[in-house]
Amino acid sequence: MSNLLGAPAALNFTQKILRVHWPLLIVVTALSAIGVMTLYSVAGGSFEPWAERHALRFLVAVGVLLAMALVTPRSWMAVAYPAYVLSVAALCLVPVLGAEALGAKRWIQVGGFSVQPSEFIKVSLVLALARYYQVLPTAKISKPFYVALPLVAIAVPVILTLRQPDLGTAALFAILGLTMMFLAGVSWIYFLGGAGALVAAIPLIWTNLHDYQRRRIEVFLDPEKDPLGAGYHIAQSKIAFGAGGVSGRGFMQGTQSQLDFLPEKHTDFIFTMIGEEWGFVGVVVLLVIFACLLMMLISMSISVQHQFGRLLVSGAGVTVFVYLLINVAMVTGLVPVVGVPLPLVSYGGTSMFTVMTLIGLAMSAHVHARQPMRRDEFSTML
Amino acid sequence: MALNNDDLEPKRLFKRRALLLGAAQLAGLGVLANHLHRLQVVDGRRFAPIADTNRFSMQVLAPVRGQIFDRFGRVLAKNVEGFRVTLTPGFGQDVNKSLALLSRIIVLPKDKRAKLALRARRSGPDSPIIIADGLTFEEVAEINLLTPQLPGIQTELSYGRTYPQGNVMGHIVGYIGQVSERALGDDPVLRLPGMRIGKTGIERSQDTRLRGSGGLRKFEVDARGRILRNLEERPANTGADVVLTIDADLQRRVLQRVSNERRASVVALDVRTGEVVALASVPNYNPDDIVSGITEQTWKRMASAAQKPMLNRAVAGIYPPGSTFKMVTAMAGLEAGVISARKRIRCSGQFKLAKQKFRCWKRSGHGSLNLQEALKRSCDVFFYETAHQLGIDKLAAMAKIMGLGQVYDCGIEEQNSGVVPTETWKIGRFNRGWLGGETLLAGIGQGYVLTTPLQLAVMTARIATGRTVVPTLLRRESGEDKPVFADLDVREDFLRQIRKGLDAVVNAPGGTGKNARMAAGAPRVAGKTGTSQVTRRSSQQSQSSLEWKERDHALFVAYAPADNPRYAVAAVVEHGEVGGRIAAPLVRDCLGYILEADAEFAGQMLAAKDQKINSENIEETVAVEKPVRRRGRPRKKRRLQ
């Protein structure tokens, strides 16, 4: 019967390679290249210590991405729940085994590497939620019980991350998870109700914040309050943007951002560098490239034939978007400093690999977009 | 398979919502772009008002570091004003040319110029680098004259650090140095060029107090680096001064006396306040040499030298306490009831545990002894027996009460906590069970027990006062309450018995510490000798036949006056062979200096000195305590007791 409708047969290697969304890959490469270029400038015109490693990491990550694209979504579905359980377990281990850095425990040592389990969660949460909605019958999507289940799956890592404490990542999990639920078709009523409850809960959240988190928010609301402390970075960053003007100071000519007073200029504050050296024109170009990436992901997601794949693609898009939004808003003083990198551009292996892994999953969904996947295939276990 | 409703419906729903999400994402990016437009295009004009060459900058102003004084206000660390010349890259200037021009005025060899040019390229356009420090006024004037030809070059006031007391206070005051990458925290002051941070001693422990807080200046500069106008200025807050408990003159005398030894250290405490009045470690170093810039080779040689001049032995040198530990064993024994003031133990020269023999230093034995005699003659067997009945954990608990095995928040962070071994400690450390024989060794301050001279001084002060004396190098600020030390959790009459024994060590005939006795008329001293074995060896070898570095450490702890204790002193002479002969006179002399410096005792000391002259010449032969001799360690596999 399926043959009558012409359901495609399994793809061979060449077919898969041909189906890879190459324009998307070009956009991703462009973003990383901007990262390499900026890191070269941050180092005062040197590939050491950042630019070269950033480029190398990207090349490795592209390899990983392509390898992931060749794997069928069916296989990803099989590992979705175990991956989620394992990464949550690893996150639980952080307070026990974790190494403390700058007042927060986020890393655990595995062999010679320090691993941030919260990065795995981003991937496994996307997988788990996509799988859940692949199997769940449409009629049940908005039933309270079936809404509560994914909420718990989101809440567990959110709470664990909040306790590390890492406000930025916790917020990302929450936004990522809820957006996926929204895309899966959960009724509007829940989202409206949730938003209302959140507004009501703000005083409660405030009292539960850590001192440094509260200070960041206070300083954000009034940067003059502490110009030498937490407000210093925002003020410096703003001056750098202003100094960039319309057309920027030119490559390697950034002066404000090259001040040693601006910390993390190769990671979280890299956008400030771009803003100063390339001006408003430069940042708009960068934002347009990001917009291309996001729109490509949206159109990819719509064209996938199964819910699992659609949600995988969305997961990548939402993550990139939230990173981008928080990072840019942070360095321009729109939101408090929370320590989120600019995806693909900022120096840092973990965020690079997380984003590329998510895009790899999306690519797998895209390559196999027309391969059927029946709802009941995995229905034995939710 | 037909696409049924169940498959189509979510697809349509997804498409609707995905498009909605896409629109929201574009809107989000639009908000960001709009915000950036305001920041860069609308407000940006405010930041780049005249031309691109004019820049706004924020500069953190360095605070002046606080000073360090001794208890009488003598300066131990101060700032010296000088001039320095800095270069701020990023004015489009030719750095090499500027440096070449500068080298006509100040000494700038070619290789140094190349290094500076490299640093200028790396440091980023707005962070000034220091070209030269310690300029004369003439040089500054000449450079200022040339300013128009030297864009980005500035002369400014700088502060160097100097330590007028040199070696005398080196280990205590410490020194400052460049801020390491790791120390860079939230304080932007630390990122300033030339900013230095406390590396050791008081400079390190009190760094945040001494450092002060930075000021902030917002200004506009032109392309030549000239400041066009100050927009806002908030001055820096000078760091607070720190006053120490040390009397620099007394410290100097003590250190001179300790310097007679190759490697030794002394700690002296005021037992009523816990104030450290002298803390000497030999060999030592002059912090002025370090801050005034030593070559890397010199630094490496100093840091790795065998005699370790950088090590503050008084707080970080760890030694087996030897027989000085017997006061702890005795106290634990009394508290646990395994000995009493009257109980006599027979010393036959050895103590047998299973098949193992543990020898007393006096191989012929001491005969029957009570506690006081055992302390006085430092009998090992008496304390083997006591420790054996006590067990290691009760012994360790008493050692902790007496202040061993811990570090103190006293103003020097480079302390070593030493070791107070317990059964669990050994399992954690060596993954082996505790052996009964090891308890015996611990009972005479050998084996795993390790202490610092500071801890030994605290132990002595606690025995002397019965209070939990806590040492400090920081003078109380006026208005701050005198510290009230809680009573130790032990019985006062037991303490009295120990003190009687310690008094006998120095003052009774046949006491091992008679060399610590001061001249007649001077305050009475009570103390305890210690000789701690450094290496295992056969019992036949004599000390003098050994290599210097294999000889025993000599220790002595004491307090005075014996009837109303004011000061406690601990001394360790590395490889000094015998506590009674080497360390006891050292402690006696140091105590003498301390009492002479104390108005309350100065007169008494002066009177005694006159009398002393005659008795000095009669050198007494001293009953010398010899170290424990034993054949090897207890066999590891065998679990004794």
CA distance B340 to chain A (A): 48
The predicted pLDDT at position A157 comes to 92
Cβ partners under 8 Å of residue B293, min gap 6: none
- Which of B243, B272, B305 is at the close of a domain? B243
Whole-angstrom distance, CA of residue B525 vs CA of residue A121: 69
Inter-chain Cβ pairs, chain A and chain B, closer than 8 A = 171
Tokens 């697809």, residue?
B11
Could you tell me if residue A4 is inside a domain? no
Residue B459 has pLDDT above 90, yes or no: yes
Contact present, A322 and A172 (Cβ < 8 Å) = yes
Whole-angstrom distance, CA of residue A343 vs CA of residue A363: 17
Could you tell me if residue B150 is inside a domain? yes
Whole-angstrom distance, CA of residue A209 vs CA of residue A201: 13
- Which of B196, B217, B243 is at the close of a domain? B243
Could you tell me if residue A6 is inside a domain? no
Radius of gyration of chain A (CA): 22
If asked whether residues B266 and B212 sit together in one domain, one would say no
Could you tell me if residue B3 is inside a domain? no
Whole-angstrom distance, CA of residue B493 vs CA of residue B153: 74
* Mutate: best of B6, B32, B129, partner A, most A CBs <10 A: B32
Residue B638 has pLDDT above 50, yes or no: no
The predicted pLDDT at position A59 comes to 95
**CATH number of domain containing B141:** 3.90.1310.10
State the average pLDDT over residues B571-576. Answer: 90
If asked whether residues B492 and B454 sit together in one domain, one would say yes
User: Complex ipTM, two decimals?
Assistant: 0.89
The interface residues of chain B toward chain A in range 83-122, judged by CB-CB distance below 8 A, are 90, 121-122
Could you tell me if residue A218 is inside a domain? yes
Could you tell me if residue B412 is inside a domain? yes
**CATH number of domain containing B596:** 3.40.710.10
If asked whether residues B283 and B168 sit together in one domain, one would say no
Whole-angstrom distance, CA of residue A304 vs CA of residue A311: 9
Question: A225-239, B68-82, B348-362, B414-428 — which is least confidently predicted?
Answer: A225-239
- Which of B219, B243, B267 is at the close of a domain? B243
Could you tell me if residue A87 is inside a domain? yes
If asked whether residues B212 and B227 sit together in one domain, one would say yes
The predicted pLDDT at position A221 comes to 60
If asked whether residues B482 and B554 sit together in one domain, one would say yes
> Which structural domain, as residue segments, surrounds residue B156?
57-243
How many domains, in total, are found in chain B? 2
Cβ neighbours of B122 in A, within 8 Å: 44, 46
The residue type found at B493 is D
Contact present, B335 and B490 (Cβ < 8 Å) = yes
CA distance B5 to chain A (A): 9
Whole-angstrom distance, CA of residue A267 vs CA of residue A173: 21
**A291–B25 CB contact, under 8 Å:** yes
Whole-angstrom distance, CA of residue A312 vs CA of residue A366: 10
State the average pLDDT over residues B58-77. Answer: 89
> Residue B529 is encoded by which pair of tokens?
């000798």
Could you tell me if residue B534 is inside a domain? yes
**Could you tell me which residue, B306 or B331, shows the higher pLDDT?**
B331
> Residue B87 is encoded by which pair of tokens?
């270069």
Neighbours of B236 (CB within 10 A): 17
Could you tell me if residue A241 is inside a domain? yes
Cβ neighbours of A243 in B, within 8 Å: 44, 47-48, 55-56
**Could you tell me which residue, B119 or A342, shows the higher pLDDT?**
A342
Could you tell me if residue B469 is inside a domain? yes
Low-confidence ranges of chain A (pLDDT < 50): 1-6, 102-103, 257-261, 380-382
Cβ neighbours of A183 in B, within 8 Å: 14, 17-18, 21
Whole-angstrom distance, CA of residue B124 vs CA of residue A44: 7
If asked whether residues B236 and B280 sit together in one domain, one would say no
> Residue B600 is encoded by which pair of tokens?
């309350």
**B316-326, pLDDT tens digit by residue?**
999 999 999 99
**B55–A238 CB contact, under 8 Å:** no
3-class secondary-structure state, position A252: coil
**B1–A2 CB contact, under 8 Å:** yes
Chain CA centroid to CA B311, Å: 9
Could you tell me if residue A336 is inside a domain? yes
Cβ neighbours of B13 in A, within 8 Å: 185
If asked whether residues B320 and B187 sit together in one domain, one would say no
The predicted pLDDT at position A114 comes to 60
Could you tell me if residue B86 is inside a domain? yes
Whole-angstrom distance, CA of residue B176 vs CA of residue B2: 80
State the average pLDDT over residues B423-445. Answer: 91
The predicted pLDDT at position A340 comes to 83
The interface residues of chain B toward chain A in range 200-239, judged by CB-CB distance below 8 A, are 213-214, 216
If asked whether residues B229 and B254 sit together in one domain, one would say no
Residue B31 — very low, low, confident or very high, per pLDDT cuts 50/70/90?
Answer: very high
Query: How many alpha carbons fall within 13 Å on the CB side of residue B31?
Result: 13
Could you tell me if residue A1 is inside a domain? no
Residue B56 — very low, low, confident or very high, per pLDDT cuts 50/70/90?
Answer: low
Candidates B201, B251, B266; CA nearest to B474 is: B201
For chain B, give the mean pLDDT.
Answer: 84
Could you tell me if residue B225 is inside a domain? yes
Residue B620 has pLDDT above 50, yes or no: no
If asked whether residues B503 and B377 sit together in one domain, one would say yes
If asked whether residues B268 and B230 sit together in one domain, one would say no
Q: Is A6 on the interface with B (CB under 8 A)?
A: no
**B14–A184 CB contact, under 8 Å:** yes
Residue B77 has pLDDT above 90, yes or no: yes
Residue B541 — very low, low, confident or very high, per pLDDT cuts 50/70/90?
Answer: low
**Could you tell me which residue, B101 or A236, shows the higher pLDDT?**
B101
Cβ neighbours of B41 in A, within 8 Å: 245-246, 280
Cβ neighbours of A261 in B, within 8 Å: 58, 60, 127, 188, 191
Could you tell me if residue A2 is inside a domain? no
The predicted pLDDT at position B393 comes to 92
Contact present, B189 and B216 (Cβ < 8 Å) = no
Whole-angstrom distance, CA of residue B26 vs CA of residue A321: 10
If asked whether residues B235 and B263 sit together in one domain, one would say no
The interface residues of chain B toward chain A in range 6-35, judged by CB-CB distance below 8 A, are 6-7, 9-11, 13-15, 17-19, 21-22, 25-26, 28-29, 32-33, 35
How many domains, in total, are found in chain A? 1
Tokens 């003059």, residue?
A224
If asked whether residues B398 and B511 sit together in one domain, one would say yes
Cβ neighbours of A241 in B, within 8 Å: 36, 39-40, 44
> Which structural domain, as residue segments, surrounds residue A110?
23-378
Residue B484 — very low, low, confident or very high, per pLDDT cuts 50/70/90?
Answer: confident
**A317–B90 CB contact, under 8 Å:** no
**A325–B28 CB contact, under 8 Å:** yes
The predicted pLDDT at position B551 comes to 83
Cβ neighbours of B32 in A, within 8 Å: 287, 325, 328-329, 332, 334
**B58–A290 CB contact, under 8 Å:** no
Could you tell me if residue B140 is inside a domain? yes
Cβ neighbours of B17 in A, within 8 Å: 182-183, 185
Tokens 């009257």, residue?
B342
Residue B98 — very low, low, confident or very high, per pLDDT cuts 50/70/90?
Answer: confident
Whole-angstrom distance, CA of residue B284 vs CA of residue B254: 13
